[in-house]
Amino acid sequence: MNATIRFFADQLRRTTARRDPNEIFAERLTFGDRLADRIAVVGGSWSFIIGFTVFLVAWAILNTVVLAANAFDPFPFIFLNLMLSMLAALQAPIIMMSQNRQAAKDRLAARLDYETNLRSEAEIANLHAKVDALTSDIAMLLRLQLSGSDLRSESAEALN
């Protein structure tokens, strides 16, 4: 088991009330973790894709049509390419950090689900044993009642 999952699972086991693993992860996040998650949320949204597409189109129009003779980044757009490469180089590891944290959170939730299933299975087995014991007790009481009614009927016949 991953050390992170073990740490959070131990925290959960120590508390009597069951807590949401998302809350436990949220309490332990550093500023960098929260920032990485926020960047991943923004970078993977339609708003970002649409906004960045508008920026790229505006950049191309500005440098080819508006500033055609004095463009600061003419047609092959080398400066834009450099900026996009730097953005990708920074954004990819940040998104991967966020995904790794999400994977750890998912593993913790799966582990907690497994432990809950084990406790439920043990409780069901316990209830099954109790139902079996009650069934045998009821059968014994029925036998006693039937044998008691046989004795009563025999004694009533003996009195007559």
The string of pLDDT tens digits covering residues 13-37 is: 554 456 677 787 888 889 988 998 9
**Quick one: pLDDT at residue 4?**
59
User: Is pLDDT above 70 for 1?
Assistant: no
Closest CA to 37 of 85, 101, 118, 113: 101
| CB within 8 Å of 131: residues ≥ 6 apart | none
User: What mean pLDDT, rounded, does the chain reach?
Assistant: 84
Does the pTM surpass 0.75? The reply is: no
End-to-end CA distance of the chain: 80
| CB within 8 Å of 25: residues ≥ 6 apart | 8, 101, 104, 105, 108
* Spatial contact of 43 and 92, defined as CB atoms under 8 Å apart: no
The string of pLDDT tens digits covering residues 46-83 is: 999 999 999 999 999 888 888 878 888 888 899 999 99
* Spatial contact of 38 and 97, defined as CB atoms under 8 Å apart: no
Site of tokens 């939730």: 109
* Distance of alpha carbon 36 from alpha carbon 94, whole angstroms: 5
**Quick one: pLDDT at residue 8?**
55
Helix runs in the chain, H state only: 3-14, 21-28, 31-43, 46-61, 78-159
Find the helix packing angle between 78-159 and 3-14, rounded to 10°: 40
Give domain limits for the chain.
Answer: 3-123
* Distance of alpha carbon 126 from alpha carbon 129, whole angstroms: 5
Mean pLDDT of 123-139: 94
Between 78-87, 107-116, 119-128, 148-157, the lowest mean confidence (pLDDT) is in 148-157
Site of tokens 């894709």: 49
**Quick one: pLDDT at residue 44?**
85
**Quick one: pLDDT at residue 7?**
59
